[in-house]
Structure 1
Amino acid sequence: MNPPLIFVVAPALQLPYATTSHEVLQQAQAAGPSTGFALRIFNRGSEHPDLGLLPVDGRLTGEQRRSSDGTQLLCAALVVRIEPRHHWLGVYQGDTEDPTCLRCVDRVALSELSNATCWFYPTHDGTFLSWERGLHLTLKPGSIVDCPEELSSAPYDRSLISVLWSLLGDDASLTCVGLTYGGQRLVLPTEALSSDPMATWGRFRVDNQAEHSLVVEDCLTVFPAPPLAA
């Protein structure tokens, strides 16, 4: 089996060309994407008419995926704001005899890679709730999630990388939501993470028979409750 591939998303000048170390790659990744957002989607949107009463932390179903009233968490995602026009991808691999010595196997602008699409929002009819909260983060170099043996044992192949795009809500344009290699998601772990104090709740309707299949009916920014006076 080949040593695992290590992926770094950062400006081109931050990506080492030749042999390097884990420490240098961590510094390079720290110079990459630094913002993102948390996204949650729930069913039963029409059962929650007042968005101002919904929790700012997005935990509409508490710690469970389904609450006693039937409200269900359909999607929970952390989306890093990757900018394909500005960011490059560096791919590195350890030496079989010295795993601490990493060699560069590829450096490429994200804008030159293949594109693929996905859909975060429900595709079946109904009324739903969405919750978004801005994030500030520092990332670590990434790897392939649950890499199958046939992929890990094969030589690196740039053609297997795809930049993943999705429509979020009723956005007019696609948003970059990540990268895949051989159909497997690349994960850049978070080293540090903080969230904005406010969050945005939205209610949207999906109707596949309508001219516009997804319509946002309402949207509201909510804030934490002020502390009680002493």
Structure 2
Amino acid sequence: MNPPLIFVVAPALQLPDATTSLEVLTQAQAAGPSTGFALRIFNRGANHPDLGLLPVDGRLTGEQRRSSDGTQLLCDALVVRIEPRHHWLGAYQGDPEDPTCLRCLDRVALSELSNEACWFYPTHDGTFLSWERGLSLSLKPGSIVNCPEELSSAPYDRSLISVLWSLLGDDASLTCVGLTYGGQRLIWPMQTLRLDPMATWGRFRVDSQAEQSLVVEDCLTVFPIPPLAT
């Protein structure tokens, strides 16, 4: 089995192109994506007419995926804002004789990689709620999630990388939501994470038979309730 692949998403000039170390790659990744957002999508949007009454933390169903009134959490995602027009991907691998010595296998602009569609928003008709909250973050170097043995034992192959795009909630355009290698998701662990104080709730309707299949009905930014004065 080969040493695991290590991936870094950052501007091109930050990516080492020769032998390097994990410390250097960690510094390079720190120069990469620094913002993102948490996204949740719920069903039964028509049953919650006043968006101003919804919780800023997005916990409409509490700690469960379904509440007693039938409201169900359909999507719970944390999306890092990767910018394929600006970011590159570096692939690195440890030397079998010295795992601390990392070799650069590839450096490539994300805009040059294959694209693939995936779906975050509901594909069935109905009225839904979306909750979105901005994030400030920093990442550690990434790896392949649950890498199968046949993938880990094969040589690195750039053609196995795909950039994932999706519609999110009530968005009208596609958003980059991550990357895969050989069909397996790449993940970059969080180094730091900070939530914005406010969040945005939206209500949207999906009707596959309508001329306009996605209609945003309402949108509202909500803020934490200040503590009562004593």
Q: Residue by residue, what CA displacement relative to the aligned partner does 1:84-125 show, whole Å, maximum 9, x if unpaired?
A: 111100000011121111110000011111111112100001
1:48 maps onto 2:12 in alignment: no
Structure 1 pair 88/75, CA: closer, same or farther in 2 (3 Å)? Answer: same
Q: After the TM superposition, which residues 125-140 of structure 1 pair with which residues of structure 2 at under 5 Å, given as runs? A: 125-140=125-140
- TM (norm. structure 2) is 0.98
Offset at 1:170?
4.3
Structure 1 distance, partners of 2:95, 2:115, is: 30
Change (3 A) 1:78 1:3: same
TM-score (norm 1): 0.98
**What is the alpha-carbon distance in structure 1 between the residues aligned to residue 184 and residue 23 of structure 2?**
25
The answer to whether 1:209 aligns with 2:209 is yes
Q: Tell me how far apart the structure 2 counterparts of residues 39 and 203 of structure 1 sit (CA, whole Å).
A: 13
Partner residue, 1:120: 120
- The alignment status of 1:105 with 2:108, answered yes or no, reads no
**Which 5+ residue runs of structure 2 have no aligned equivalent?**
none
* 8 Å CA contact 1:165, 1:178 repeated in 2: yes
Residue ranges of structure 1 left out of the alignment (5+ in a row): none
1:169 touches 1:214 (CA, 8 Å); kept in 2? Answer: no
Quick one: which amino acid aligns to residue 73 of structure 1? Answer: L
Task: Determine whether 1:6 maps to 2:6.
Answer: yes
Q: CA deviation at 1:169?
A: 3.7
Matches within 5 A, 1:161-180: 161-180=161-180
Aligned residue pairs total 230
CA distance in 1, matches of 2:172, 2:125: 20
Structure 1 residue identity aligned to 2:98:
D
Residues 52-93 of structure 1, C-alpha deviation per residue, up to 9 Å, x if partnerless? 000000011111111111111110001111111111000000
Identity over aligned pairs, percent: 89
Say if 2:10 and 2:89, in contact at 8 Å, map to a contact too.
Answer: yes
Instruction: Give the match's secondary structure for 1:99.
Output: strand
In structure 2, C-alpha distance between the alignment counterparts of 1:48 and 1:146, rounded to whole Å: 39
